[in-house]
Chain A
Amino acid sequence: MGSSMDTEKSAENEMKLEFDSRSCNEGFARVAVSAFMTQLNPTLEEVADVKTALSEAVTNAIIHGYEGRVEKIVIRCRIVEQTILVEVEDHGVGIADVAKAMEPLFTTKEDCERAGMGFSFMEAFMDTVQVDSAPGKGTRVTMTKKILHTENRYER
């Protein structure tokens, strides 16, 4: 706990990941983000929460954003103090009515057996969920979660 370490410890840490919108990359994205957040020393449940929320956002980008076309999805993660911020961005079709899309059980793809619970899961497992979207421009989902486990904080 030397004072020379203080600036290091309060520094932010960031990563950015870009990958094809193929469903086989969903597992890869979950593993990458959970590996990145281990520096916060989260509980297994906290990791599972973030993985589930991330999986919902990435699946949305693949199914709804790009409607199956193979293009790029970008994930940005930032750690500030004990909070992890996860951003999932696509440049797909976008959402005309975000409030409607976030209603539980609402889905535009019922025939594909979508449960309509993606955003509900994100909201249940993260502290905050913000959706910025415009038709034809794409969608950016920004989620944050404070990792409460405070022992053995990230030290380099």
Chain B
Amino acid sequence: MEDFKVSGSSLTIHLPAEVDHHNAEELKNTADRLMQENNVRCIIFDFEKTVFMDSSGIGMIMGRYKNLRFMGGVVMAVRVNERMRRILTMSGIYKVMDIYEDIPFELK
């Protein structure tokens, strides 16, 4: 559970080294449960450990964004390396989320 951290109405998800179809499912289920339980308005995807992500990861992020959008929530990506930035940019998802190379403020 330490990969997910709720603080107020913010949920930080520390993504694993590889985000693919296999673990995107688990991430999705846990994130949705925590979103419901905690009235989450902001999701921060932390890519610090992430070196691989394919379009399943994009689908997972997009899905969380859609769920949150109706409530006026926001989604952001932090500690994104060059490769992950390329994946996020190619997918077009950067249009709906802010991407930061570092954590923009203290989230803990």
Give, as a whole number of angstroms, the nearest-CB distance from B22 to chain A.
4
Residues A48 and B52 in contact, CB atoms below 8 Å apart: yes
Give, as a whole number of angstroms, the nearest-CB distance from B38 to chain A.
21
Report the Cα distance A81→B71, complex, angstroms.
55
Interface centre among A52, A55, A115 (most CB of B within 10 A): A115
Interface residues of A in 1-55 (CB under 8 A from B): 23-24, 26-27, 30, 45, 48, 51-52, 55
Report the Cα distance A52→B87, complex, angstroms.
10
Residues B91 and A115 in contact, CB atoms below 8 Å apart: yes
Interface residues of A in 76-132 (CB under 8 A from B): 112-115, 117-118, 120-121, 124
Residues A115 and B90 in contact, CB atoms below 8 Å apart: no
Report the Cα distance A120→B62, complex, angstroms.
17
B11 contacts the other chain (CB 8 A): no
Give, as a whole number of angstroms, the nearest-CB distance from B91 to chain A.
6
A52-B25 CB under 8 A given contacts A27-B20, A115-B59: no
B48 contacts the other chain (CB 8 A): no
Residues A117 and B58 in contact, CB atoms below 8 Å apart: yes
Question: Within 8 Å CB of B18, what residues of A?
Answer: 27, 30
Question: Within 8 Å CB of A52, what residues of B?
Answer: 52, 54, 87
Question: Within 8 Å CB of A55, what residues of B?
Answer: 20-21, 52, 54, 56
A75 contacts the other chain (CB 8 A): no
Residues A59 and B83 in contact, CB atoms below 8 Å apart: no
B60 contacts the other chain (CB 8 A): yes
A118-B52 CB under 8 A given contacts A45-B83, A113-B62: no
Give, as a whole number of angstroms, the nearest-CB distance from B77 to chain A.
15
Residues A113 and B55 in contact, CB atoms below 8 Å apart: no
Report the Cα distance A26→B21, complex, angstroms.
8
Report the Cα distance A114→B21, complex, angstroms.
10
A binding-site residues for B, Cβ under 8 Å: 23-24, 26-27, 30, 45, 48, 51-52, 55-56, 59, 62-63, 112-115, 117-118, 120-121, 124
B binding-site residues for A, Cβ under 8 Å: 18, 20-22, 25, 28, 52, 54-56, 58-60, 62-63, 83, 87, 90-91
Q: What 8 pairs across the A-B complex have the smallest Cβ distances?
A: A23-B22, A113-B63, A115-B59, A117-B55, A55-B54, A59-B21, A113-B59, A115-B58
